Amino acid sequence: GDSVTQTEGQVTVSESKSLIINCTYSATSIGYPNLFWYVRYPGEGLQLLLKVITAGQKGSSRGFEATYNKEATSFHLQKASVQESDSAVYYCALSARTGGYKVVFGSGTRLLVSP
Amino acid sequence: NAGVIQTPRHKVTGKGQEATLWCEPISGHSAVFWYRQTIVQGLEFLTYFRNQAPIDDSGMPKERFSAQMPNQSHSTLKIQSTQPQDSAVYLCASSLDTGGEVFFGKGTRLTVV
């Protein structure tokens, strides 16, 4: 079945430094899945950060970017300069046709930004 | 738009009792998902309805878990004979269309004592 892998359970970055959170996926569908990053800020519900539905394209939101790399089956999340307010849990996810478009999530990466 | 509404927000049950969790999706959304969130397992997919029809329940523990969507305005997740390992936050989500953004409720925290 479809799956998403996030290798880091927690990442700590100093404020104003760059960030990369790794995500790789495996999808059995013909064609390419839709890819997403969701975020849960402290005390809030899970919400969409960005999505990309076309292989090779880049999505961006709130200074974060992720590029859909179909060759590497990756969708890493990057930010050039993090802020303390970016501290949250980030989830990579996919939705594919052969999965009936159910949304499958990675295990999540907690980002701690230190001042 | 009140978003996805889940009730109750917290539920405590004794071991062996039944728990029913409720979800009201966003009006007009055709897809409804249930997930279970734990520290160990992360966000686990449980089951999924589209236009009220069950599409995929591959994540449901078969013996004690069941989900229904009797009408387009609500879905229930029922856990019979609850066990301590069922303790988790159960999240309901809905989506306007297939493959699009999923909107989550605030979850029901189930504690089995």
What average pLDDT does the segment A65-83 reach?
Answer: 96
Write the residue in B43, B103, B106 that is nearest to A91 by C-beta.
Answer: B43
> At A40, is the pLDDT very low, low, confident or very high (cuts 50, 70, 90)?
very high
What average pLDDT does the segment A10-21 reach?
Answer: 97
- Best residue in A39, A103, A110 to probe B by mutation, most B CBs within 10 Å? A103
Cβ neighbours of B42 in A, within 8 Å: 105-108
pLDDT at A89 over 80: yes
Q: What pLDDT is stored for residue B91 in this prediction?
A: 97
User: b/e string for B20-43 if b means 16 or more Cβ within 10 A?
Assistant: ebebbbbeebebbbbbbbeeeebb
Q: Minimal CA–CA distance to A82: which of A23, A9, A28, A21?
A: A21
Q: What pLDDT is stored for residue B41 in this prediction?
A: 79
Are the beta carbons of A51 and B101 separated by less than 8 Å? yes
Q: What pLDDT is stored for residue B54 in this prediction?
A: 93
Q: What pLDDT is stored for residue A29 in this prediction?
A: 66
pLDDT at A31 over 80: no
Q: What pLDDT is stored for residue B67 in this prediction?
A: 97
Cβ neighbours of B43 in A, within 8 Å: 91, 105, 107-108
B9 CB near a chain A CB, below 8 Å?
A: no
pLDDT at A2 over 90: no
- The low-confidence residues of chain B, meaning pLDDT below 50, are none
pLDDT at A30 over 70: no
pLDDT at A101 over 90: no
Mean per-residue pLDDT over chain A, rounded = 93
Give me Rg for the CA atoms of chain B.
13
> At A1, is the pLDDT very low, low, confident or very high (cuts 50, 70, 90)?
confident
